[in-house]
Amino acid sequence: MDFNLSSDDVAFRDELRSFLAARLPAEMRDRTLSAHHFEASDIRSWQQILHAHGWGAVHWPREFGGMGATPLQQYLFELECALAGAPIQLAFGLRMLGPVLMRYGSAAHQQYFLPRILSGEHWWCQGYSEPGAGSDLASLKSLAVRHGDHYVVNGQKCWNTLGQHADWIFCLVRTDTAAKPQRGISLLLIDMKTPGITVRPTVLLDGTAEVNEIWLENVRVPVENRVGDENLGWTYAKFLLGHERANIAGIGNSKRELRRLKQIAATETRRGRPLIEDADFRRRLARVEIDLLALEYTNLRMLSAAPNSPSSAISASILKIRGSEIRQALSELLVEAIGVGALRFAGRGPAGQPAALPEAAYEAGLTASYLNLRKLSIFGGSNEIQKNIIAQALIGL
């Protein structure tokens, strides 16, 4: 394929760069580039800024309020935002639930929920994993029993990312206990303010309360909040997970961190000379840079492939595996590059945020990022499960 940008793509990129230079608040950028974590207020505010200027969902079709950008332009958007230090866009609504509602949701769902996702009014979280049902998601046990025009839901969800800030949760529940596991699941949209929902944050290795346990006790959900048909939620879940796994690749974030790593290696010294002059470190840095370049080309090649081509069936799994491995490798090299400065990370502060000496916030942030990124090869479907998916698709195992 031709990797050169067309004139339209160059114009898109240049317009985006100008927008980011003018509209990305400096304090948001600085938190992203130095502290290695996002404030919930930043995520919602940035989405509101993007939406107000027409950039709220570049990948959505125009009929749903998006820009109708090409896949390559979507990639350029994510890359340039990451390099500029923009806060993340919350993937749960924009890249996961939104496409599901566009394809499988009712007209009422589309008219009510999609504009509120775009504007940042609704913060969505995901209710998939359960104790004993993570990679084997089809074994979930949260039960929804229909009573007239409502379901009554009881169960527990875990590893729920940022659910403590969420307004709504899209939730996989079992609606038929007699059917085979994949056939008895439905997808419900649940208001987090509904009585019976309890959220308990879980403190991670980096000291942040990023994920949660969620209990649902006799939670009443209107039947009209079910997406698609009853017991066909597995179909919608697979479609949604493909968007999650592709997003985990994080090529833009990796390119930003590679740039940061080179800067540190050029200034940090070991035995009186810059770290970049150490042959072993330089070799490992070159390896991860080559791997990242290969992943980027793989991603671009997949973007150019026909939607129903054989490669499209496994593309999300490939991007998830290699993207998570590269991000972890970069975080390891960054911690190694700053050396003893990494020890300044002091665990959890009183508000659940990493505690560090003020002058060491940057170094402590690198260490917190290293600890946080250990999860990448597990969530969204473990890398081992993704390898099984690839093997089954390619050689029928």
CA distance 215 to 304: 42
Active site residue 230: no
Across the strands, what pairs with 145? 152
* CB 331, CB 370: distance < 8 Å: yes
Measured N-to-C along each axis, helices 310-338 and 233-248 cross at an angle, to the nearest 10 degrees, of 40
Rg (CA), the chain: 22
Which one of the listed residues 244, 257, 296, 363 is annotated catalytic? 244
CA-based nearest residue to 75, from 299, 386, 366, 326: 299
Q: Which long-range contacts (CB under 8 A, 24 or more apart) does 19-27 make?
A: 19/53, 19/55, 20/80, 20/81, 20/84, 20/86, 21/84, 23/49, 23/53, 24/49, 24/84, 24/85, 24/86, 25/49
- Where is 371: in which H helix or E strand? helix 361-372
Active-site residue list: 244
